[in-house]
Amino acid sequence: MNILLTGGAGYIGSHTAVVLVEAAHRVVLLDNLSNSRQEVLSNLERITGENIPFVKGDVRDTTLVRQVLEQHDIHAVIHFAGLKAVGESVQAPMDYYANNVQGTISLLQAMEDCGVRRLIFSSSATVYGIPQYLPIDEAHPTHPTNPYGRNKRHIEEMLGDIAGSDRTWRIVSLRYFNPVGAHDSGLIGEMPRGIPNNLMPYIVDVATGNLSHLSVFGNDYDTIDGTGVRDYIHVMDLAEGHRSALDYLDTRAPTMSLFNLGTGNGFSVLRMVQAFEAASGKKIPYRFAPRRPGDVAACYAKADKAAIELGWKATRTLEEMCASAWNYRSPSTKTKTP
Ligand SMILES: NC(=O)c1ccc[n+]([C@@H]2O[C@H](COP(=O)([O-])OP(=O)(O)OC[C@H]3O[C@@H](n4cnc5c(N)ncnc54)[C@H](O)[C@@H]3O)[C@@H](O)[C@H]2O)c1
């Protein structure tokens, strides 16, 4: 199948491209490179041995998206393109609505115009807000606590309305938990700009010496060791979830469906530090800092629905997540061959 990946040069999109090419799909990437680098494209070619078509452009350019859909005879779209920093979304909500919500409307218009009605959307566990029970299943109420999470919820609502208006649409929204790690080649991975927002890139920055220590926000939560617990999922497992979702879209999907993509396991910050130290041989100095407003004690998925309906399950271990994250960023790694 010919698949368009919006935001395909980004962290999750690039790993998904590898998995889809290996599954004999023909992949086209559209990205404005606002949060990714051109070099990802040559590294994707080294990994897959394929010259993956790339279009530099913005999903808000409806005419361009229409051209890409037609020119490449696209069958389905995976919509990764978006801004994703929770804190930034609080500071600049307009940018987030313009890019994420308006970007999705533009994409949907182009898809409708071209008769392409197969879509996988990158949603987030952020839509759930403060957990009312654990593990979180797809029926958990959605009360996002920040503009980024509200963008995702608005988009899901919009997708539901569109699917309801025309029964030929097939839409799957995937609610990711906390993707970490990298492709085994060490050629692609997560490379945030500036100070990272997420735990794993922060730990890696401490390991490389870019940052002096890790700040652990809160050590008095009601969890195993007092630090926050999250559901970390290897990015390659997540990428494989998209391959399963594509098969599902094409065979047995209803007009609109939602799935958690997580492991179902929660790990604390200190457990992550310990696992990373073991995988990298590096000491990660840390200091406790006050809780951050809006952070919750624990958040992890009930992942049964994806297992039953998509036939997908995360299989990679915490150790593999840490080792691959380090392999990607370690200055001394000389094994960066596909
Ligand atoms: N990484 C996570 O922790 C996480 C968790 C849950 C959900 N998500 C969602 O998954 C998707 C992918 O996340 P990621 O971690 O790969 O992020 P990323 O920033 O690495 O990738 C997103 C890509 O989209 C591109 N982009 C942004 N706006 C665009 C636009 N208007 N037009 C074209 N390209 C545009 C960026 O340049 C980037 O390459 C996002 O929608 C994000 O909200 C990510």
pLDDT, one tens digit per residue, over 53-62 is 999 999 999 9
d(CA 316, CA 203): 20
Q: How many CB atoms lie within 10 A of CB 168?
A: 9
> What is the Å distance from ligand 1's center to 149 Cα?
13
Q: Is 148 a catalytic residue?
A: yes
Q: Which residue has the tokens 């533009």?
A: 106
Question: What residues in the chain have per-residue pLDDT under 70?
Answer: 333-338
Q: Please identify, by atom number, the ligand 1 atom nearest to the C-alpha of residue 99.
A: 31
Q: Which domains does the chain have, with CATH numbers?
A: 2-182+232-262 (3.40.50.720)
Report pLDDT for 295: 86
- Which pair of structure tokens corresponds to residue 2? 């010919």
**How far is the C-alpha of 332 from the C-alpha of 5, rounded, in Å?**
32
State the virtual CA torsion across 128, 132, 133, 139 in degrees, nearest 10: -50
How far is it, in rounded angstroms, from Cα 197 to Cα 84? 10
96 lines ligand 1 (CB under 6 A): no
According to DSSP, residue 37 is labeled -
In order, the DSSP letters of 169-225 are: -EEEEEEE-EEE---TTSSS----SSS-SSHHHHHHHHHTTSSS-EEEE-S-SSSSS
- Ligand 1 neighbour 190 (Cβ under 6 A): no
pTM of the model: 0.97
Q: How many CA atoms lie within 13 A of 335 on its CB side?
A: 12
Q: Which of 128, 148, 286, 300 is catalytic?
A: 148
Helices (H) then strands (E): counts for the chain: 12, 14
201 lines ligand 1 (CB under 6 A): no
Report the 10 Å Cβ neighbour count for 333. 11
CA of 83 to the centre of ligand 1 (A): 6
Q: What is the pLDDT of residue 18?
A: 98
Please give the pLDDT value at position 335: 52
Does the beta carbon of 262 sit less than 6 angstroms from any atom of ligand 1? no
